[in-house]
Chains A and B, each alone.
Chain A
Amino acid sequence: MAHSNTPTLSHTRGDDSAHQHTHPLVGHLVPIWLFMAVGGTLLMLTVITVAVRYIDVGEFNIVIALGVAAIKATLVALFFMHLRWDRPFNLLVFLASIVFVILMMSFCMMDTAQYRSQQFVGNAPDVESTLQSNAPGAPVARFKPYTP
């Protein structure tokens, strides 16, 4: 039901027309320098995170990498996506979605961790020999390395 938009600038009150040109009717105007500053920070953080990749800090590598990614994501969300000046409910929606992903991830990883000790790669030797003797033609994936 939306009618096509007709710019109403020419019909506005005369002495406000200059005002109308630079201020939007709705929403919030972000200064250009802020975009540039945030963008520059993001690029810098990218360079930093790539550089850190080549330094060995053991278990912390993933923590640093994801931590930097989280900072970059926060900057994008707050400034580029306007969440800093937007209604709080929009932020809540976004955070809720992340919370649910983390919920799913934590439960699934807990589950996997619990039975990891019972897992090993490939078939047990007796299973393998049973397969060979009883079902030699069965389609089973093989993992032998490629010999050129």
Chain B
Amino acid sequence: MTTLPNTQGAPVDDHHAHDADGAHAHDAHGEHAKYKFLQHHFETPAHQFDSAKLGMWLFLATEVLFFGGLFVAYAVLRARFPEVFTYSSHYLNTLMGGVNTCVLILSSITMALAVRFAQTNKKNAMLICLVLTFMGAVGFMVIKYFEYSHKIHENLVWGKSFYVPPESEEGQAERMILEKPLPSAPAALLVVNPATDAVPTLVTTPVVEASAIKAASSAPKGLATARQEAKAEHLPVAEHDLALAHPTLHLADPKMPANSHMFFAIYYCMTGLHGIHVLAGMVMLGWLIWRGARGDFNSNYFTPVDVGGLYWHIVDLIWIFLFPLFYLIH
């Protein structure tokens, strides 16, 4: 081994060791004294900054993959039920979605400006931009709140509630049937198997007969026919106001394709998860505003603002993809 023995490596925590490698150690020592934010295992501020950025990009990669799973679910569902997506997307308000997109883009601009102002020591401008970004996030969530409450009012929700509002009489009856416990097997079926030490086992005798299920081609209305029918008759665009006046308008529409609840299920999952990330971003922005007001950031050290900005931009980026996938389906 070509490594020389390290005779200076005393097992004591000694920052003031003068050693053969003095020049290198002194520079590092000097940098740490000059910049209090520099952690002990990094050589220079640039080293620390680069590492922080790489770490953040790795986290953003995990965010992309996290949402990516939902994008895959969307793709699979849309490939299986294209008519569902075409029909149900009319219940979304494209204008509100577009406004939300613009709000997020503006907040991205202000976030990028905040980073720049941190880099150039303009503390007040940086704080103003951070606050504007925060207001953008608030605006986004407010518009989202209106969208969601509107839809919930119209019973455009996920799962079985889509079909029968839970509060209605029929919903109650349905729920009673669904939640009723299965009938227990009659006692005659319980036999004791002597081979297993008198532990009762349930013995069923399956009836073996030829399958009576016909081939799929003779099945009732399938995907292909539903899609053709949807294309043949131009589906009405559910007007925003009209839907308000008639809750559960969708259920009264005979042209609603089966499995339409799937659209709303994936819609709430994806936009809901995105909304949670916006809320987390608001917490992060609040923390940055607090630290910024305290005077922590300047042209030497602005890493948290930069790295927080990256997070905010990825939230914007994900919305840039969510918007056409839900609101711009023709």
A residues bordering B, Cβ < 8 Å?
Answer: 1-9, 20-27, 29-30, 32, 35-36, 39, 42-43, 46-47, 49-50, 52-54, 56, 61-62, 65-66, 68-69, 72-73, 76-77, 79-82, 86-87, 89-90, 93-94, 96-98, 100-101, 104-105, 108-109, 112-113, 116-122, 124-127, 130, 137-139, 141-143, 145-146, 148
Contact = CB atoms under 8 A, between A and B. Distances in A.
Interface stretch (B12-20, B146-154, B189-197, B209-217): B209-217
Contact of A100 (B65, B80, B111, B301): B65
A129 B298 CA distance: 74
Contacts, number: 249
Given A21-B120, A145-B252, A86 B53 contact: yes
Given A4-B36, A39-B106, A97-B65, 10 more contacts: A9-B298, A43-B102, A49-B324, A89-B54, A108-B76, A121-B226, A142-B163, A145-B256, A146-B248, A146-B252
22 contacts: A4-B296, A21-B299, A27-B302, A39-B105, A42-B108, A43-B102, A61-B330, A87-B54, A97-B64, A101-B64, A101-B72, A109-B79, A112-B76, A112-B79, A120-B219, A120-B222, A124-B214, A137-B177, A139-B178, A142-B163, A145-B251, A148-B248
* Shortest 4 CB-CB contacts between residues of A and residues of B: A101-B68, A146-B251, A65-B324, A120-B222
Interface residues of B, number: 96
Contact of A126 (B37, B119, B212, B302): B212
Interface stretch (B42-50, B272-280, B281-289): B42-50
Nearest to B101: A46
A139 B180 contact: yes
B80 A80 contact: no
Contact of B313 (A8, A80, A86, A97): A80
